[in-house]
Structure 1
Amino acid sequence: MPKAVVLGAAGGIGQPLSLLLKANPLVTELGLYDIVNTPGVAADLSHINTQSKVNGFLPADDGLEKALTGADVVVIPAGVPRKPGMTRDDLFKINAGIVRDLATGIAKTSPKAFILVISNPVNSTVPIVAEVLKKHGVFDPKRLFGVTTLDVVRASTFVAEKLGDPSLAASVTVPVIGGHSGVTIVPLLSQSSHPLPDSFATSELEALTFRVQFGGDEVVKAKDGAGSATLSMAFAGAEFAAKILRAIKGESGITAPTYVNLTSDPSGAEALKKELGKEIDYFSSVVELGSNGVSKILPLGKVTDYERGLINAALPELASNIDKGVSFIAGPKL
C-alpha cells in the first residue's frame, strides 16, 4: 500500500492536507517534512485512529531524505502564501528556489514517485520540477502533475450557486483547462454536467468566468492579510491525490483536469495542440489516470466562441510562465 509524503506539511495548506491524507484509507504511511514544527504535526496526526503510520522530519539529520525514502506519492504545498498586493511573479521569486531544492531531494531519493505540485505559481513550478528531474536523468512526464483541482472545485461550487441549488456542488462537473493562474484558467462552462440556463446573459457568463479565474483573490481579500486559500486548496489537493492513489491501486476510468508535460502522451498531445493551434509544452486538460500516471490526454471537445477567445488569451501568458520556470533552472547549476 502507498506511502504519501507532504513537503511543506506544517504550513497553512500542509496541515489540513496531511489531515485529509491521514484519513484516506488508501494511505498506509505518511511522511511529513517542513523546516519547522513537523514532529508536532506528526505527533498530533498519529493519535487519529486510521491505519497510516505518521512520521515528521525537519531539515537536520537528512530529514528530507528520510521523509522521501520509499515514497509513492509526493505532494508539494511548500512555499509562502500569497498576500494582498502580491503578484504571482512575486511568489515565483520566493517559491522557485524552495521547489527546486525539494525537487532535487525527490530526484535523489524517490525518483519513481508520483509528484503533485501545489506550490504557486504552478504554471512555472511544474516546469522547474521537470527541469531538475531532467538534470538528474530521472524525468518521467507521466508522473508529474500540477494540481489545478481547486479551479475545478470552485467552478463546480459557483455553477451550483448560479443554478440556485448549492447541494448540487458535489455532483456538478466543469472541465477547467489551460493553467492555474488568472487568465490562464479557462473554465469550459459550456461543457458543465449541469448546463447553465439559456437565459444566462453574456455579462453573467463573463462574471462567472472571472470569479473562477480570480477566486483566490476573494479569499486573500477576505482574510485581510492573514493568508490565502489554504483550506480549499488542501481539500482540492487531497481530492486529486485520492484519484492518483486509486489509479495506483488499479482502478480504471479515472479522469481529472491537471497541468502536465505534454510529452506524457504524445498522441493525445498532438491532437490537443491541433485544437489549440499552438505548440506548447505544458497544459492543463482532462487526463485519464492509470497505474503509471498519465494514461491519456483527452481532447478539449467542442468549445464556444467565447471559450475559444479565453483559450487564445491564455496561451501567450502560459508560454511566458513556462519559459520562466525553465529559465530558472537553466541558469544555476544544481
Structure 2
Amino acid sequence: MSRKKITVIGAGNVGATTAQRLAEKEMGDVVLVDVIQDMPQGKALDILESAPIYGYDSRVYGTNGYEETRDSDIVVITSGVARKPGMSRDDLLKTNAGIVKGVVENIKKTSPNAILIIVSNPLDAMTYVAYKTSLFPKHRVIGMAGVLDAARFRTFIAMELKVSVENIHAFVLGGHGDTMVPLTRYTTVAGVSVEELIPKARLESIVKRTRDGGAEIVNLLKTGSAFYAPSAAVAEMVESIIKDKKKILPCAALCEGEYNIKGLFVGVPVKLGENGIEQIFEIKLNAEESAALKKSAEAVKTLCEQVGKLL
C-alpha cells in the first residue's frame, strides 16, 4: 500500500507546523511548498531530521514549485499574508484572494483529484475563491475554522471549570471571525449542558473570548498570528479524511439550502471521511441561534461579493 501524499502550501508558521504534525502522525508523505527560495527545503529537512528521534517514517520534501506536488491526495493551503495588530480579516481580502487563486490554479493542473483544505484568511471567502477557481465538486473543498474555534471554546470552558478538555464537546457555527456562533445550548461537559454549569454572564464572556480568540493572540504576539492550534486543527481534519474516521467536525462547507443558507461557505457540522465532506448535519436552532447564524452568513456573503469582483 503506497503512502498518501499531502501537500502543504505556505511554509510559514502555520504551514511548517502543520507539516510537522502530519509527519509525526505518519499521515503520509508531506510536500512543503513556498515561494521563498530554499526556505521550505530547509524546514522540510529539519522536520525530516526529527524522524529518527520521534520515530516516524514519513518523508518530507521542500520545494519552490508544483511539480513535486503532483497527484497529492490532500492539499492544505495556508498561503497569504498574516494579520497584523489592528488589521481585520477583511483587510487581508484582496491580497490573499490573489494568492489563493494562483495557488489553486497550479494545484488544479497537478492534482485534479485532491481534497482542498483552506486555512488562509479571511477563511470563508478564501474557501469560496478556491471553490470558484478549482471548479472541484463541493465535497472536496473545505475550510478549516470551526475545529479551531471549537478548540478555543473548549479550552476556555476547561479553564473555567477546571476539568479535562477531553470531557468537553463544543459547537461553533457560522463564519470564522467576529460573527461566529458558539452554541452554548449544544456544548456539553461529560454530556451535561454547559449552560447548567456556568452562570450566564460568565458564559457570555467566554463566548466573546472565543470570538476574539485569533485577535487576542495577534495582539500578544505583535509580529504574527496563531499557528500551534490552527495546525492541530488541520491535522485532525486530515486524519479524519485519510483514515476515513467520519468524525463530525465543524468546517466551512458549501451550503445549498442547509440552515437556509445558499451558495456560501460557512461553518457547519460535517462528516469528514475519505471523500471529504460526506454529509452536512442540520441541527435544530432556536430563534436566537438562527438569527445569529443568519447575521454571520450575511457577513460572509458581503466578503464573497467583494471577492467575486476580483475573480
TM-score between both structures, scaled by the size of structure 2: 0.90
What is residue 54 of structure 1 aligned with on the other side?
60
What is residue 219 of structure 2 aligned with on the other side?
221
Q: Comparing 311-320 with 117-126, which one deviates more in the overlay?
A: 311-320
Structure 2, unaligned runs of 5 or more = none
**Cα drift, residue 305 of structure 1:** 4.6
**Cα drift, residue 217 of structure 1:** 1.2
- On the 8 A contact 2:94/2:307 being kept in 1, the answer is no
2:273 is the alignment partner of 1:290: yes
What is residue 328 of structure 1 aligned with on the other side?
310
Counterpart residue identity of residue 178, structure 2: G
Cα deviation code 1:96-123 (max 9, x no counterpart): 1111110001111101101000000111
Counterpart residue identity of residue 152, structure 2: R
Mark the CA change 1:152 to 1:197 in structure 2 (over 3 Å): closer, same or farther. Answer: closer
Counterpart residue identity of residue 183, structure 2: L
Counterpart residue identity of residue 235, structure 1: A
Secondary structure of 1:181 counterpart: coil
**Cα drift, residue 199 of structure 1:** 6.4
Identity of aligned residues (%): 28
Structure 1, unaligned runs of 5 or more = 263-268, 330-334
CA distance in 2, matches of 1:259, 1:124: 10
Q: How does 1:106-255 map to 2 (within 5 A)?
A: 106-134=107-135, 139-148=136-145, 149-165=147-163, 168-183=164-179, 185-194=180-189, 195-198=193-196, 200-223=198-221, 225-247=222-244, 251=245, 253-255=246-248
- On the 8 A contact 1:33/1:67 being kept in 2, the answer is no
**Cα drift, residue 315 of structure 1:** 2.4
Two-structure CA RMSD over aligned residues (Å): 1.7
What is residue 24 of structure 1 aligned with on the other side?
25
- On the 8 A contact 2:240/2:273 being kept in 1, the answer is no
Secondary structure of 1:78 counterpart: coil
- On the 8 A contact 1:33/1:57 being kept in 2, the answer is yes
CA distance in 1, matches of 2:273, 2:233: 20
Cα deviation code 1:129-160 (max 9, x no counterpart): 111113xxxx2111110001210111111121
What is residue 97 of structure 2 aligned with on the other side?
96
Q: Comparing 285-294 with 214-223, which one deviates more in the overlay?
A: 285-294
Cα deviation code 1:271-320 (max 9, x no counterpart): x23xx4x544322211112322221111123x345433422321211211
How many residue pairs get aligned? The number is: 299
Secondary structure of 2:269 counterpart: strand
**Cα drift, residue 83 of structure 1:** 0.7
**Cα drift, residue 15 of structure 1:** 1.5
- On the 8 A contact 1:131/1:326 being kept in 2, the answer is no
Secondary structure of 2:168 counterpart: coil
Cα deviation code 1:22-61 (max 9, x no counterpart): 111231x111100120110111112213111111101xxx
Identify the match of residue 254 of structure 2 among 256, 261, 264.
Answer: 261
